[in-house]
A and B are shown apart, each in its own frame.
Chain A
Amino acid sequence: MKKNSADRFTGIVNLGQARHNDVCRVLRVTGDDLSSTRLLDLGFTPDTLVRVHNVAPLGKTILVELRGYTLALRRNAASMIEVNILKNEKPGGEGKNE
Chain B
Amino acid sequence: MNEELKAPPATQQSEENGARAAQYRLGLIGNANVGKTTLFNSLTHSNEHVGNWHGVTNDIKEKNFQHRNAEFCLADLPGIYSLTSFSMEEIVSRNYLLERNYDMIINIVDANNLARNLYLTMQMLEMNVNLVLAVNMIDELNSFGKSINTRHLEALLGVPVIGISARKHSDVHLLMDMVLDGLDKRDSFQLAAAAAVGREENRIRYIDGIHGHSGDEAVSARSPEHLEELRAHMFAAKLEHDMFNAHRLPYLDKLPVRAVAEILRGDENLTLPPAWAAVKVLEKDRDVLAKLNLSEAEKQKISRITSPLGDSRAELAKQRYLYIDRVMVSAYSVADHMPRKHYRGDRIDAVVLNKYLAIPMFLLIMLAVFMLTFGPYMPGTLINQFFEFLIGLAKDNLAAYLTGIASPAWVSSLVCDAVLGGAGAVLPFLPQIVMLFLALSVMEDTGYLSRVAFTLDGLLNKIGLNGRSVFSLLMGFGCSATAIMTTRSMEDRSAKIKTAFLIPYMSCTAKMPIYITICGAFFVGAQPFVIFGMYLLGIALALAVSVILQKTRLKSREQSFIMEMPPYRVPSAARVFSTVWTHTKSFIIRVGTVIFSVVVVNWLLSSFSWSFQYLDSSRMGESILASVGKGLRYLFMPIGLGTWQLTVAIITGVMGKEAVVSTLGLLYPMGIAEGISSPLTAVTLMVFCLLYVPCIATMVTMRREIGGRWTAISLLTQLAAAYAVTALVHWVGVLFTVSVGGGVGLLLGIAVLCYALFWFPKLFTARGACIGCPGGGCSSCKGKRKRK
Contact = CB atoms under 8 A, between A and B. Distances in A.
A72 B341 contact: no
B10 interface: no
Interface string B276-288: 0000000110100
A42 B342 contact: no
Contacts of A11: none
B563 A54 contact: no
A76 B556 CA distance: 15
B84 interface: yes
B349 interface: yes
The size bracket of the interface on A is 35 or more
A60 B457 contact: yes
Contact of B563 (A48, A59, A68, A71): A71
B60 interface: no
Q: Is the interface of A mostly helix, strand, loop or mixed?
A: mixed
Interface in A33-57: 34-43, 45-46, 48, 53-57
A41 B320 CA distance: 9
A37 B457 contact: no
Interface string B332-343: 000000001110
Given A63-B565, A69-B564, A43 B321 contact: yes
B29 to A, nearest CB: 15
A40 B313 contact: yes
B317 A72 contact: no
B353 A71 contact: no
Contact of B458 (A37, A56, A69): A56
Contacts of A68: 112-116, 341
Given A37-B283, A38-B562, A46 B458 contact: no
Interface string B524-558: 00000000000000000000000000000000001
B116 A37 contact: no
A40 B314 contact: yes
B346 A91 contact: yes
B652 interface: no
Interface in A65-98: 65, 67-74, 76-77, 91, 95
B342 A65 contact: yes
Given A57-B355, A69-B113, A38 B457 contact: no
A57 B358 contact: yes
A37 B561 contact: no
B341 A70 contact: no
B214 interface: no
Contacts of B53: none
Interface string B296-316: 000000000000000101100
Interface residues of B, number: 49
A85 to B, nearest CB: 20
A29 interface: yes
Contacts of A56: 353, 358, 454-455, 457-458
Nearest to B320: A45
A52 to B, nearest CB: 12
B30 to A, nearest CB: 14
Interface string B578-616: 000000000000000000000000000000000000000
B81 interface: yes
Contact of A41 (B82, B311, B563): B82
Given A76-B560, A91-B342, A55 B565 contact: no
Contact of A72 (B86, B559, B561, B567): B561
A2 to B, nearest CB: 19
A74 B340 CA distance: 27
Nearest to B564: A71
A61 B458 contact: yes
A8 interface: no
B467 A61 contact: yes
28 contacts: A34-B86, A35-B562, A36-B313, A38-B81, A40-B313, A42-B562, A43-B115, A43-B116, A43-B119, A45-B314, A45-B318, A53-B349, A55-B355, A56-B454, A56-B455, A56-B457, A57-B356, A57-B358, A57-B458, A61-B457, A63-B565, A67-B116, A68-B341, A70-B342, A70-B567, A72-B453, A72-B562, A74-B466
Given A61-B454, A63-B454, A73-B561, 9 more contacts: A28-B314, A46-B314, A56-B353, A57-B355, A61-B461, A61-B467, A72-B562, A72-B565, A77-B560
